[in-house]
Amino acid sequence: MSQPVLDFDLVVLGGGSGGLAGAFRAAEHGARVALLEPGELGGTCVNVGCVPKKAMWLAAELAGGIALASQLGFDVPASPDLDWPALIASRQRYIHGIHASYRRRLDDAGIVLLPSRGRLHDAHTVECENGTQLRAAQLLIATGSRPRRPDIPGVQLAGVSDDFFAIHQPPGRVALVGGGYISVELAGVLQALGCRVDIYARSQRLLGHSDTELAERLQENYRQQGIGLRFGYSLAAIEGAPDALRLRDADGGVSGDYAHVILATGRSANTDGIGLEAAGVELDAHGNIVVDAGQRSSVAHIAAVGDVTGRATFTPVAIAAARRTMDRVFGGNPDARLDYDGIPTVVFSHPPLAAVGLTEAQAREQYGDAVQVYRSVFRPMRQALVDRPQHSLFKLVCVGEERRVVGIHLLGEGADEILQGFAVAMKKGLTLADLHDTIAIHPTSAEEVVLMR
């Protein structure tokens, strides 16, 4: 007996941030929606990304704060003991609450949740693992991405960023392979929580997409914190046994012994095996879905958002793109689309690095001699009170006679919270004169942004 075909206005593949946002917005517009997600709701961000990462980062910040308190005269140990399992339990309890909230919202919105992997049977039909077919006028692909592993001997001995969140005991000495934001974030957390950490990066510096000055300042801060940095490193093999892992480079040199090796060497879109080619959906050379400014794939009624497109792979971007896509498809707004310019980002390093707009190098390439750069290097009061060497670096990139701000780059305590408001102002055409016309809030780190000359 053939399986029934169920009709909907929209079928969403993927229950991560982008898929959920699209489903909720479409339902708000009155669409009949089905959402397919074989795993936990929330995708990478909620389960093995932003949310658990930030929980660990907050714990690391607390550890640093306790050490500062000790130096300021409080009767607390400079290196407090951490009950790692208790921390993990608190983190997972918070995440389970998010799962429950999503399930309630899906029920309230009348969205049909199917705990199944979906595959496109044709351009309008999605088939579940049990053979049930869902037919819809519109499809949204939001299947996310997964960590990539290099093709080297012994790679199975290493974990990836997802595996970090399965560690329920202090991990000991850890090697992180990669120089991007995932490696940088995990290194800062682990070192602050009492582990010994080394970063091995193929590049010549950390955070290749960040402003060079800020990345170099962060590197110096990390060295002062005891994090080992190896640049220009080419990993050829991983050897040894659990708790005694070694890295072998392309020249035969060996480094170790490590309890854990975590690979942070990029991510790949989850486009394999879901029937995209059969439906006529075009993929680029890296396996990402090719989309236009309205998130449409090469098949007009099939949209894609989030990591699966390879464009600005951040959770808030996926959410915003999905909502605008549904406003276009079901909300009667044919011009709704996401503006990908001026997206603010934060690397939750120690201290955090926040940025919006062009780096100095990008601005000079685009505007040449019209670029003016302003910077402030300072010690936050909390660091100065205990005479620690950690410095912040705030930087403005401006262009033209009006000194319009085209880039804001902040490395320092509170940078993650400070940037949001300034990002709004930059989006509206902020100039250096506007900043100078704003009264500083003193004493704060944020005041440095309006005082730079």
What's the pLDDT at 78? Answer: 84
Q: Is there a contact between 289 and 277 (Cβ–Cβ < 8 Å)?
A: no
pLDDT band at 79 (very low <50, low <70, confident <90, very high): confident
Q: How many CA atoms lie within 13 A of 415 on its CB side?
A: 27
Active-site positions? 442
- Two domains, one topology: 5-50+86-147+268-329 and 155-265: yes
Q: 434: left (phi > 0), else alpha (psi -120 to 50), else beta?
A: alpha
- Report whether pLDDT(444) > 60: yes
The CATH-assigned architecture of domain 5-50+86-147+268-329 is 3-Layer(bba) Sandwich (3.50)
pLDDT digits (tens, 9 = 90+) for 323-374: 999 999 999 999 999 999 999 999 999 999 999 999 999 999 999 999 999 9
- The residue whose two tokens read 């896509």 is 325
pLDDT digits (tens, 9 = 90+) for 1-49: 466 799 999 999 999 999 999 999 999 999 999 999 999 999 999 999 9
Handedness of CA 30, 36, 41, 47 (dihedral sign): negative
pLDDT digits (tens, 9 = 90+) for 109-160: 999 999 999 999 999 999 999 999 999 999 999 999 999 999 999 999 999 9
Distance of CA 260 to the CA centre of its chain: 22
Q: Kindly report the CATH class assigned to 155-265.
A: alpha beta
Measured N-to-C along each axis, helices 360-367 and 212-225 cross at an angle, to the nearest 10 degrees, of 170
What is the rounded average pLDDT of the residues 88-96?
98
Six token digits for residue 38: 């074989």
The CATH-assigned architecture of domain 351-451 is 2-Layer Sandwich (3.30)
Six token digits for residue 137: 């006028």
Domain locations along the chain: 5-50+86-147+268-329, 155-265, 351-451
What does the mean pLDDT of the chain come to?
A: 96
Measured N-to-C along each axis, helices 84-109 and 50-71 cross at an angle, to the nearest 10 degrees, of 140
What's the pLDDT at 80? Answer: 84
What is the rounded average pLDDT of the residues 301-315?
97
